[in-house]
Each structure stands twice: as structure tokens, then as C-alpha cells.
Amino acid sequence: MLEAWTGQQRDSIGTFIEVLRPTVSRHETLFSSPDRPEGVAVVAEGMSGEVQEHAYWGGMRDRIPLSQTDAMAPGGAPELICDGARLRVKAHDNLCLIRSGQDWSDTEASERKLYLDDVEPVLREGMDFLRDDGLAIGCYANRYMRVLAADGSVREKSYGQSWWKSLAALERWAESHPTHVKIFGAAMKYLSTLGPSAKLRLYHEVTVAAADEQFFEYLNCHPKTGMLAAVEKA
């Protein structure tokens, strides 16, 4: 697969591969509605019921099984390896990935307007901050994505995907950075306004990956593509 994707030049087109092979002990995922799995959860045979490790700062860490015995601190720094035109990033132990998604396809007119007018712009502002200025707080790269249907049409689903130096750096942003405080505040206002009738679906998945569970390779990409941003020379 790697050879087929980044093994050949394509005129004026950049290609890249970013792979994680997470183990259960280093992964957690959480859903507001368990009947529509996303990400790694689609291969699970089922889901648990409600969890106690939720709705408090530190719950994300507590849901990762390895956290019971390991602080999951980062080891080393990202390195750039050149293989001809291919650029490979060797990250480090305990690199953290979060993918956090929103699905408003079930909402009706008033709720959809509330989400798109009051919540989404604040979320986008935070995602843009992580994309443009996140490196200073430990976020190597961030993408804010809209999901496409099989026919190429834009669905009413989005997700943010970001690579972090450590779970601790992600926790600090989530707990106290002004951009996430605004996101959290907008979301809580939205949910408290609608209560149990809210049809917005939310989920996230977090992996703290060992060094041998990661692979990043880029060909003809701009220097801030994905993990290249972590090794970009000033």
C-alpha cells in the first residue's frame, strides 16, 4: 500500500500516508449516541453502557487503560528522514492523536440553525488556532474536516483531527486555553438550551501511540502537511 501511494511521483499532486495501529490499552472512544459508531469503533462487536469516567477534567486519561500504570509521557522529539523525494517523520513514543466529530444530520431546522450559528463558528475558530498556532502549545498539526458522501456531496458531519506531543498537552488545552474554553462554553449553552431533545451527535477517539505503532510519509507535500509541521525548519 505504501509503495502504491507514495512510491511514485504525480505531477503537481502531493500524497501522504499517516498510519496508527492502536492497541486497546492505548485507546479510548466516547459517543453521545452509541447506535452510530465512528472510527475504530465500527469494528467493535458492541459498546459498553454509560461510563463513570466522564464529565470531569481528567476523564479522558482515566478512560485509557494504560493510564492505570503509565504516565504516557512523550519520549524524544520528531525527526525527519529523507528517502529520495519521500519525507518520513519518525515521531516519538506516546504521540497523541485525537479525532473529535460532530454529526448534525438528524437535527431539525431550529436546532440546526442554533448549531451552525452559535457553536460551529466557535469550534472553527479553535480548530484554526490549532492549525496555525498550535505548535507552541504542543499541537503538531490539526485538520478540521467535512465528511463527504460516496457521490462527493458534503454531508452534515465534521471532525477535527490533531496530533499532539502528549496527552498532557492536549489536556492543558482542553482545560484552560481560551479557544477551548469558548468551544466548551458554546457547546454547554447549546445543550442546556435544548436538553434531552438535542439531536446533535458527538463523539471522539483518542490514541496515545507507542513509537512502533506510527508511520508518517509524505511526497510532494507542502512543508506544514501533517507531521511535517513538527520538523519544519525555520
Per residue in 98-119, pLDDT tens? 999 999 999 999 999 999 999 9
The structural domain count of the chain equals 1
Higher pLDDT, 33 or 71: 71
46: in domain: no
Lowest mean pLDDT among 2-16, 22-36, 70-84: 2-16
Q: What is the pLDDT of residue 234?
A: 40
3-class secondary structure, 206: strand
CATH label of the domain that carries residue 134: 3.30.70.100
Sorting pLDDT into bands at 50, 70 and 90, what band is 56?
confident
118: in domain: yes
Higher pLDDT, 61 or 53: 61
6: in domain: no
Percent of the chain topping pLDDT 90 = 78
Query: Using CA atoms, how far apart are residues 72 and 66, in angstroms rounded to an integer?
Result: 8
Q: Among 219, 198, 163, 228, which Cα is nearest to 9's? A: 219
Phi then psi for residue 71, to 5 deg, are: -75, -15
Section 165-193 average pLDDT: 96
Higher pLDDT, 150 or 55: 150
Residue 62 has pLDDT above 70, yes or no: yes
152: in domain: yes
Section 29-58 average pLDDT: 86
**Angle in degrees, CA 126, 127, 131, rounded to 5:** 120
42: in domain: no
160: in domain: yes
Q: What is the pLDDT of residue 2?
A: 62
Just list the catalytic residues: 204
- Residue 30 is part of which domain span? 14-36+52-230
157: in domain: yes
What are the cell numbers at 187?
457547546
129: in domain: yes
CB 61 within 8 A of CB 171: yes
